[in-house]
């Protein structure tokens, strides 16, 4: 009666599609919400431009969709923590700045030059994507500035007082 054996372990659990989806904590965070919005808007804009006669504008939204999807995947699977050699916030900042500029230009072109409903819809969604990407690079910029200021404070605290590179006139 006192000999209770632990249950036998079952077969190892195989990775499934649910393992690559972002966790609930990340999806509800500000960064997760912005990245999901960027992916969804980029996909909608891509579909709008594929359905329009302005298919020459389709490459920008496709590239931005792929970049946003990669960053969503990297942040949700914590790939950014495994590869610390890359400066992830700087890469993300450059991605957001370029995306907001590209979407703004494409949106102006598609709204002003086309009367086709899919092109106009792509342009309107492009303006919304411009705002979402601009919010994202604003928040990333604030984080980068904080990181730079923190690094400057640490470098001034670590400099010794008897440093020969110090330009103060204490020898009088």
Question: What percentage of the chain exceeds 70 in pLDDT?
Answer: 79
Asked if residue 112 is part of any domain, the answer here is yes
Asked if residue 1 is part of any domain, the answer here is no
Asked if residue 144 is part of any domain, the answer here is yes
Task: Tell whether the model's pLDDT for residue 125 goes beyond 60.
Answer: yes
Assess contact for 135 and 34: CB atoms under 8 A.
yes
Number of domains in the chain: 1
Domain region containing 74? 25-156
In tens, the pLDDT along 80-103 reads 788 877 788 888 999 999 999 999
How many other C-beta atoms are found inside a 10 Å radius of the C-beta of residue 99? 27
The pLDDT of residue 41 is 95
The pLDDT of residue 65 is 94
Query: What are the CA-CA distances from residue 146 to residues 61, 82, 139, 142, 156 (Å)?
Result: 31, 23, 11, 6, 15
Asked if residue 30 is part of any domain, the answer here is yes
Task: Tell whether the model's pLDDT for residue 165 goes beyond 70.
Answer: no
Asked if residue 162 is part of any domain, the answer here is no
Pairwise CA distance, residues 89 & 166, whole Å: 33
pTM for this prediction: 0.74
């Amino acid at each position: 009666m006192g000999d209770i054996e632990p249950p036998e372990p079952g077969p190892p659990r195989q990775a499934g599609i649910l393992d690559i989806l972002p966790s609930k904590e990340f999806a509800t965070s500000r960064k997760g919400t912005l990245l999901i919005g960027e992916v969804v808007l980029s996909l909608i804009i891509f579909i709008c431009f594929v359905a329009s006669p302005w298919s020459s504008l389709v490459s920008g939204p496709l590239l931005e969709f792929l970049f946003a999807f990669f960053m969503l995947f990297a942040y949700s699977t914590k790939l950014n923590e495994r590869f610390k050699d890359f400066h992830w916030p700087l890469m993300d900042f450059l991605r957001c700045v370029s995306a907001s500029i590209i979407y703004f230009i494409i949106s102006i072109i598609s709204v002003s030059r086309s009367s086709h409903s899919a092109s106009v819809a792509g342009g309107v969604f492009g303006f919304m994507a411009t705002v979402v990407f601009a919010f994202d690079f604003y928040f990333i910029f604030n984080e980068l500035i904080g990181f730079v200021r923190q690094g400057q404070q640490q470098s001034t605290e670590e400099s010794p007082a008897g440093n020969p590179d110090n330009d103060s006139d204490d020898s009088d």
